[in-house]
Structure 1
Amino acid sequence: MTPTELIFLVAIFFLTSVIGVVTGSNSLITVPVMLEFDINPARAIATNMFALIFMSIGGTIPFLKSDVLKRPDLSLLSVLTVIGSILGALLVIIIPADTMPLLISIFMIAVTVFSVTNKNKGLEKQEKPSPTALKIGYGLTFGLGIYGGFFSGGYVTTLTATFIGFLNMTFIEAVAITKVLNIFSSIIATLIFMTQGLVDYQLGIILGITMFFGAIIGAKVTMKMSNLWLRRIFLVVVVFLAVRNLWQWIS
């Protein structure tokens, strides 16, 4: 990789980490960019996952002094994520990579439809979810943990929608909680990738430090925004990514 290509890659990772604190789906942009530089697909996924550890930590730090992380079920959500991520990371060598754009597009479209038809979800504090909603929310957390450990592209986005839709979180709460869970998901997946020798540590550290500072900036900006504006940004990016990935699959 030439110095010019590295600078371009760093710029892309920085911008996506700033915006991705709210929207997630960084990997839908960063991994394809890495593939354009002839990085092996499995190595690109593994190195990107390694960098996501730094981003998730950076995105969590600004929320530590707020009340949005004080949820009694955070430990349960973390355990479900860890177990799912272990299973997901083991699927990288099994599931064909060319199926991912269609799968991701379906997730994105589902998130968009849900968000549009539930306009008030995530804007204000709501009553405690029903037992059924809790079971669905926890089940999806586990299932998405599997997907997050496998690829991560669209994982945080769909997890954010799950928390808002079934666990009655506000947007700011969901953004903060997903950053914490993504730390666990990324670490577990990266450890498994390391045993397979797939992580490019030199590139991963450079991109990881870039994403760490980008996420801190993004999180600080997020804390100053209302849930309404977070919802608007979330929907715009999700629609864009859904169309982009569907077009990629059709092409």
Structure 2
Amino acid sequence: MSVLEALGIFVAGLAAGTINTVVGSGTLITFPTLLFFGYPPVVANVSNTVGLVAGGVTAVHGYRAELAGAGRMLRRLAPASLLGGVIGAVLLLVLPAKAFQAIVPVLIGLGLVLVVLGPRLQARAAARHEAGIAPAPWHAAALVGGVLVAGVYGGYFGAAQGVILMGLLSALSTEPLQRLNGFKNVLATIVNAVAAITFMLVAWGRIDWLVAVLIGLGAFAGGIVGAKVGRRLPPLALRAVIIVVGLVGIIKIVWFG
């Protein structure tokens, strides 16, 4: 590996760690970068997943204030992310690449629709809460199921997992957007971590450890930067970032594969 290549991978990891903390979709930076340098797709995807775990750790730490008192919610959702991450990682190793790629733009698009509709849905939920009306019984089950599906997707590929999670959380929760972003960072990090562990147990030989370390170092720093930037964004700006990144992700996958 040349110095230029190593620098390019590190910078891609830095950018991915930053954007993952703010919204998600950092894989849309690192994965194409690795393909550009000639790494096979599965090796690139597996190595990238392992490396990005470090960025998730600093992202969660950066949002610790927003996560105060969130233990009950996270205990309910974390098992779905854990199970989904394992399933997605296994699917990556046993299914052909095109088997899952067809549904990726649909999932991202659904996440964007939920982000756009989130304020209206949240307002209705808040009004019901103030009126003493309990949330619809299906909300909790739908959120857990959606987090499970997002975890499968994240374990398989990961790009725009944050967009999907933010869409689900915005639509089915009345929590402030920045607090939901903290939830998203925890859940996405769980998915990446269990997927990385699965890869290490089942496909150790497919991990390029130098690539994983370079991405990890960049993502670790990017998580710190992203937490400082993301926590200062007003809700409207944060939603705009989510929508733009999601649309770019759809364009990349549909037109460039």
2:125–2:174 contact (8 Å) kept in structure 1: yes
Cα distance in 1 for partners of 2:69, 2:163 equals 18
Distance 2:15 2:124 in 1: 29
Q: What is the CA distance between 1:118 and its match in structure 2?
A: 4.4
Q: In the alignment, which residue of structure 2 is the partner of 1:234?
A: 242
Query: TM-score scaled by structure 1?
Result: 0.89
Work out the number of aligned pairs and report it: 249
1:61 aligns with 2:69: no
Cα 1:118–1:186 change in 2 (3 A) is: closer
Match of 1:143 among 145, 149, 161: 149
Residue 98 of structure 2 is matched in structure 1 by 98
Would you identify which runs of 4 or more consecutive aligned residues in structure 1 move more than 4 Å? 121-125
Name whichever of 125-134 and 180-189 sits farther off.
125-134
Q: Kindly, what percent of the aligned residue pairs are identical?
A: 22
Deviation for aligned residue 1:60: 0.8
Q: How does 1:10-159 map to 2 (within 5 A)?
A: 10-67=10-67, 70-120=70-120, 126=126, 127=129, 129-159=135-165
1:153-173 per-position Cα deviation (integer Å, ceiling 9, x unaligned): 222210111111123333212
Conservation of the 8 A alpha-carbon contact between 1:50 and 1:204: yes
Choose from 196, 208, 213 the match for 1:205: 213
Once residues 69 and 210 of structure 1 are traced to their aligned partners in structure 2, the CA distance between those partners, rounded to angstroms, is 30
Query: Does structure 1 conserve the Cα–Cα contact (< 8 Å) formed by 2:21 and 2:185?
Result: yes
CA contact (8 A) 1:59 1:218 kept: yes
RMSD, aligned α-carbons? 2.3
Question: Higher mean Cα deviation, 151-160 or 118-127?
Answer: 118-127
Structure 2 length normalisation: TM-score? 0.87
User: Shift in Å at residue 125 of structure 1?
Assistant: 8.9
Aligned residue runs from structure 1 range 208-223, under 5 A = 208-223=216-231
Higher helix share goes to which structure? 2
Give the C-alpha shift of residue 214 in structure 1.
Answer: 0.8
Q: CA deviation at 1:68?
A: 5.4
8 Å CA contact 1:17, 1:26 repeated in 2:
yes
Measured after TM superposition, the shift of residue 32 of structure 1 is 2.0
